[in-house]
Structure 1
Amino acid sequence: MTSDSDSLALTPGDKSELALSALGACIFYMKKCLIDQELLSMGNFEEYVPVDMDIEKATSSTSFFAKTSQRMVLDGVTLTNLELLQNGTNGSTEGTLLEKLDTCFTPFGKRLLKQWLCAPLCNPYSINDRLDALEDLMAIPEKLTEVGDLLKKLPDLERLLSKIHSIGSPLKSQNHPDSRAVMYEETTYSKKKIADFLSALEGFKVMREVIMVMDDAVDGFKSNILKQVLALKDKHPKGRFPDLSSELKRWDTSFDHEKARKTGVITPKAGFDPDYDEALRDIKTAEQNLTDYLEKQRKRLGCKSIVYWGTAKNRYQMEIPESVTERNLPEEYELKSTKKGYKRYWTKTIEKLFGDLVNAEERRDAALKDCMRRLFYNFDKNCKEWQTAVECFAVLDVLMCFAQYSRGGDGPVSRPVIALPDDTSPFLELRGSRHPCITKTFFGDDFIPNDVVIGCKEEDCDEDNNGASCVLVTGPNMGGKSTLLRQAGLLVVMAQLGCYVPAEVCRLTPVDRVFTRLGASDRIMAGESTFFVELSETSSILQHATEHSLVLLDELGRGTATFDGTAIASAVVKELSERTRCRTLFSTHYHSLVEDYSHTPAVRLGHMACMVENECEDPSQETITFLYKFIQGACPKSYGFNAARLANIPDDIIQTGHRKAREFESIMLSVKIFRQLNTLLEEHTWDLQAINKLLEML
């Protein structure tokens, strides 16, 4: 990102000023946190290309989906509204798609599952390859059980590798704050570091066991991704898993594991640490030279009882009996100390040899002190291989998680059929589909499956569909409209994750983005009203939706006057159905809106069915049974007074409200008839029968 013309790399390249400025801010913050050296030394940089920009570069409708790396876009609003990772009640995972799918055994598998949930696939071939992987895994249940038991033993290798990299950084012994820190419990810290390192080694040994367990099944797999994560790259053309055998054997013999675990000190075995080995050789040589020198002095003085005496810095003084010292001693002998019957001497030669010994011992101690760091550094030199192994097993863990769901869901599950966008126009067909996170209704009954068909023109899809890309959803309050919209969005996400879905049939062309406008809430701290938030979210949909998007709109326009809200909702439906032509589920209580689009080919009507008993002038006496079944046509009423009754609004208030509603309905009907009469008269269509009929209605 730096300019090619600047050899010092101090000038940003074209369109890279903001990126480098942002990097500078990140580095400044990391320095404050004292983690800049560890993170920057990993060199884990990746250019971010916004998906919208990527879509704009696509030259045709299919090139976007042809990219293997391309992902579906789920913005923050959609993640929240569909409750993929957190529920909207208390922010926990209860009732979320993550909770439903997550049976991962490893921490790094759980993290990858979250990443996949936030960015499902778009490429049909990649999606089908994941689905093939699930079929391959479900065909070997015994091996899955065995592999699952092994995966449970794995520690969080992803974080352990990061720790090992941090501890092993050469900068730690130079200008890093750790080099100046005084650890009062250094032994405890060292034991923890060694325990983590040994735990990582044991984890990679378990991985090797899994590879051996699955070895005989790999060749029979249809899925390429499964072959990549389970086959050794040295033995299989499609394999990516590295052969760790030689490395693990090397680290097994590098030092005494049990001794290091107990003492917190790593003493490398011969041949593993060159600096330590060289220091030991120099110590041995210096000690041998001192021994040889002592033997020469014994012969020189003719006394075999001369020995070295002393400790620490006073070592290697020659202790000579006084009977020998009374003779003429060599001039180089320097008296250092005395003892009854003995005198102790040093020479320049001893001083030099002892200096060599002390120097070697200091180098040995320094090597031993820095041994753990250098050992971790040597381990981290092979970081790409270790990380690749972890990445492979994270993918395997998530695929096993999907296979577990696909094998035993809460009801019938089916393999999604992903159609190529160039073979047909965008469509979505869900038959007998159920909400993946809801198995029971509030009344304890089983969840009622529904069909959702959008944009399908084929004969076997729906006789009344006619390829309409927009479905207007009506129905009584609490009848299940919002649940249906969320259900459709979740099943599309699951299908493009490469997971089986809770439906009898699931067919679709890939969705590039899922947009949602569900629920009602303001942003009081930002000074944004509920209606403004609704329109902001709708604006984002209108700006970014393509014909391959899925749009879920729930009761747009309810935050303002009825006429304003209806007008805005009508304009949005027109834009989405006629210009954008994306797959849309639009739920509404504006029945005038439904009437306006009842004969529009691009719009289809559907409603959540209900059964009304004792329908009369007094709505407090009516009994409404929700059928939670999505069927053709529009619902005649919204039955708002039923919701009022369920909310324990007093009967007299409900009755008063019902009388007022009848007045409004009468006025609206009169206005409607008057407009129709006016139209007939303006067009000079003197259809007396039609005019008389309208007058009778008045």
Structure 2
Amino acid sequence: MFDEAKYSKKKIEDFLQTLDGFKTSYKVARKFREHAKKFKSRLLQKTATLDSVEENPGHFPDLKEELLFFDEAFNHDKARKEGVIVPNKGVNTDYDEARLDIERTESCLQEYLSQQKTRLGCRTLVYWGSGKNRYQIEVPESMLKRVPDEYVLMSSKKGWKRFRTKEIEKHIADLVDAEERKDVALKDTMRRIFHSFDERYTKWNAALQCLSVLDVLISLSKYSKSADGEVCRPEVISPEENTEPFIQIHEARHPCVTRTFGGGDFIPNNTFVGVPDDTEMETDDDTNSNSKIVLVTGPNMGGKSTLMRQVGLLTIMAQLGCYVPAEKCRISPVDRIFTRLGASDRIMAGESTFFVELSETSAILQHATKHSLVLMDELGRGTATYDGTAIACSVVQELSQRVQCRTLFSTHYHSLVEEFSHDPNIRLGHMACMVENEDEEDPTQETITFLYKFTKGACPKSYGFNAARLANLPEDVIKAAIHKSKEFEETVNRIRLMKLMWKSGSRDDLIQQLRVS
């Protein structure tokens, strides 16, 4: 179930790789030594400069002594191959003392054997045996008459007898004691080495922090130089007392999607939140041109989620100081980005998909501020239509009236669009599409072309049957769904007409409405 030798070997390999990584990082810092003074960025200059520099020291720790200690502490190649750390002299005093005692005892045993050779007048005497049977003096039978009385017979073979003496037994006892102390010290060496490494945690952590900063800066630099298409330097506008939070992005592209799929076919989009759309002529009806909430509608697979993720990523990149894939980018600072995207449950915690969505929505409503950015994708889809619509409506109202933060809220609830179409703090936008052979009786004959362009206004339909056809649902199933959809729509229209009758109180108006419908 548990192989200690393999575990120790793997642990030692990881430890040696860690040391090699710090050696490399130290080489990187030394390479910057002559160039760091020329850096315009104070952050980069401090990050790449060693703290041991006398004039204008930086934050990168000087690891020379630490790395030298571990280089000289033990044989790295032997430890990597055998999975055992054997300390060099001076690292583990207990191990050094035990090894010295072993050498002394073995020397005493060899000296005792020389004395016995002289005493018996036999130069062929040797020690025989291993383990518990070691250090038995092997005497030829021709010399047995000269064997002293203190010799104790231990074993024999043809032509030879093997003996021990009290002196040998005493030395063996000393030898076994020293070997046991050596084994104990050897087992404790790995712990001591790791403890020595842990004592230098402050320096290791400082080096990692500097490396992290360098890694981010280099990554941002490489992306800014090699991004597909046009990139721009973002403008982060400091908020003033009378300045409302806003996002203004022209012809932006998703930084990950463009890199993954080549970027040639990606359709750029404008996103304006909290500011007027300066790419189109504003009309007198555009009372919500400075709205902070944008209700995003559009066909299934039309690009709504991609647009929202794009805005979130570009906001982060802009505040990091990276060039962004857009023609122009102006934003006021965002304190936090809250997202409610995708659908997932927490089955081990007993939390359903809808419960997880509501928990995340609750966190947004509790912690979002005026300067936050909220991205919410199809809230309310995990429950009944009326329940989901009602929850989505109340959340939008809360974000609009109380929180008043920048928000992109995508939905397929078209009644929600009607509800907030005249709210001055809410703007309507949709992912455009082109419909050919539009047929109200048989939507399966329609051909939908996604334009992936974010435009003003609301999308009239979600074209769910087109998505069903693309997913290869059986034709009979789709037609049955279309028939059922018409029944639902007729029911809703009847209810609407009944409400009109009660409100107007006129029988003639009701008949006229029925004729029109």
Normalised by the length of structure 2, the TM-score is 0.69
Q: CA deviation at 1:416?
A: 3.7
Correspondent of 1:469 among 281, 292, 301: 292
* 2:300–2:467 CA contact under 8 A, matched in 1: no
What does residue range 252-271 of structure 1 map to in structure 2 within 5 Å?
A: 252-261=71-80, 266-271=85-90
Residue number in structure 1 paired with 2:232: 414
> Percent of pairs identical after alignment?
51
* Per-residue CA distance 1:80-130 (angstroms, 9 max, x = gap): xxxxxxxxxxxxxxxxxxxxxxxxxxxxxxxxxxxxxxxxxxxxxxxxxxx
Matched, 1:549 2:367: no
Q: Which amino acid in the other structure matches residue 587 of structure 1?
A: S
Q: CA deviation at 1:468?
A: 1.4
Separation of aligned partners in 2, 1:536 and 1:189 = 41
Residue number in structure 2 paired with 1:456: 275
Residue number in structure 2 paired with 1:603: 426
What does residue range 511-530 of structure 1 map to in structure 2 within 5 Å?
A: 511-518=334-341
Q: Select between 458-467 and 486-495 the one with higher mean Cα deviation.
A: 458-467
Residue number in structure 1 paired with 2:452: 628
In structure 2, relative to structure 1, the CA distance for the partners of 1:528 and 1:363 (3 Å cut) is closer
Q: CA deviation at 1:274?
A: 1.9
RMSD: 5.6
Separation of aligned partners in 1, 2:45 and 2:421 = 52
Task: Classify the secondary structure of the residue corresponding to 2:255.
Answer: coil
Task: Classify the secondary structure of the residue corresponding to 1:389.
Answer: helix
Residue number in structure 1 paired with 2:402: 579
Residue number in structure 1 paired with 2:307: 484
Separation of aligned partners in 1, 2:106 and 2:346 = 78
What does residue range 649-688 of structure 1 map to in structure 2 within 5 Å?
A: none
Task: Classify the secondary structure of the residue corresponding to 2:35.
Answer: helix
Q: Which amino acid in the other structure matches residue 550 of structure 1?
A: L
* 1:436–1:502 CA contact under 8 A, matched in 2: yes
Q: CA deviation at 1:433?
A: 1.5
Residue number in structure 2 paired with 1:11: none
Residue number in structure 2 paired with 1:389: 207
Separation of aligned partners in 2, 1:534 and 1:447 = 30
Separation of aligned partners in 2, 1:581 and 1:314 = 87
In structure 2, relative to structure 1, the CA distance for the partners of 1:289 and 1:388 (3 Å cut) is same
Unmatched segments (≥5 aa) in structure 2: 506-512
Separation of aligned partners in 2, 1:497 and 1:654 = 49
Q: CA deviation at 1:505?
A: 2.5
Residue number in structure 2 paired with 1:276: 95
Task: Classify the secondary structure of the residue corresponding to 2:295.
Answer: strand
* Per-residue CA distance 1:221-275 (angstroms, 9 max, x = gap): 3445544543322227563333222333333334444455555555544333322
Residue number in structure 2 paired with 1:502: 325
* 1:619–1:655 CA contact under 8 A, matched in 2: no
What does residue range 342-357 of structure 1 map to in structure 2 within 5 Å?
A: none
Separation of aligned partners in 1, 2:311 and 2:37 = 37
* 2:135–2:164 CA contact under 8 A, matched in 1: no
Matched, 1:230 2:43: no
Q: Which amino acid in the other structure matches residue 250 of structure 2?
A: R
Q: CA deviation at 1:379?
A: 4.2
* Per-residue CA distance 1:262-291 (angstroms, 9 max, x = gap): 555555443333223333444566677789
Separation of aligned partners in 2, 1:651 and 1:441 = 37
Residue number in structure 1 paired with 2:249: 430
**Structure with the larger RCO, 1 or 2 (CA within 8 Å, 6+ apart):** 1
Q: CA deviation at 1:546?
A: 2.4
Separation of aligned partners in 2, 1:377 and 1:230 = 28
Task: Classify the secondary structure of the residue corresponding to 1:234.
Answer: coil
Separation of aligned partners in 2, 1:284 and 1:568 = 82
Correspondent of 1:202 among 20, 25, 37: 20
Task: Classify the secondary structure of the residue corresponding to 1:627.
Answer: strand
Task: Classify the secondary structure of the residue corresponding to 1:253.
Answer: helix
In structure 2, relative to structure 1, the CA distance for the partners of 1:462 and 1:285 (3 Å cut) is farther
* Per-residue CA distance 1:489-509 (angstroms, 9 max, x = gap): 343344456654332223323
Separation of aligned partners in 2, 1:365 and 1:593 = 76
* 1:475–1:607 CA contact under 8 A, matched in 2: yes
* Per-residue CA distance 1:120-152 (angstroms, 9 max, x = gap): xxxxxxxxxxxxxxxxxxxxxxxxxxxxxxxxx
In structure 2, relative to structure 1, the CA distance for the partners of 1:526 and 1:231 (3 Å cut) is closer
Residue number in structure 2 paired with 1:39: none
Separation of aligned partners in 1, 2:169 and 2:137 = 10
Q: Which amino acid in the other structure matches residue 24 of structure 2?
A: V
Correspondent of 1:215 among 9, 33, 53: 33
Q: CA deviation at 1:190?
A: 6.3
Matched, 1:405 2:223: yes
In structure 2, relative to structure 1, the CA distance for the partners of 1:258 and 1:222 (3 Å cut) is same
Q: Which amino acid in the other structure matches residue 60 of structure 2?
A: F
Q: CA deviation at 1:581?
A: 0.7
Separation of aligned partners in 1, 2:249 and 2:163 = 99
In structure 2, relative to structure 1, the CA distance for the partners of 1:306 and 1:375 (3 Å cut) is farther
Q: Which amino acid in the other structure matches residue 632 of structure 1?
A: K
Residue number in structure 2 paired with 1:127: none
* Per-residue CA distance 1:403-443 (angstroms, 9 max, x = gap): 3333323333334433344563322222212233434999x
* Per-residue CA distance 1:150-191 (angstroms, 9 max, x = gap): xxxxxxxxxxxxxxxxxxxxxxxxxxxx9xx986xx5x7666
Separation of aligned partners in 2, 1:592 and 1:279 = 85
Q: Which amino acid in the other structure matches residue 446 of structure 1?
A: D
* 1:280–1:360 CA contact under 8 A, matched in 2: yes
Task: Classify the secondary structure of the residue corresponding to 1:552.
Answer: strand
Task: Classify the secondary structure of the residue corresponding to 1:219.
Answer: helix
Unmatched segments (≥5 aa) in structure 1: 1-177, 679-693
In structure 2, relative to structure 1, the CA distance for the partners of 1:351 and 1:505 (3 Å cut) is same
Q: CA deviation at 1:528?
A: 8.3
Separation of aligned partners in 2, 1:583 and 1:469 = 5
Separation of aligned partners in 1, 2:386 and 2:433 = 27
Residue number in structure 2 paired with 1:240: 59
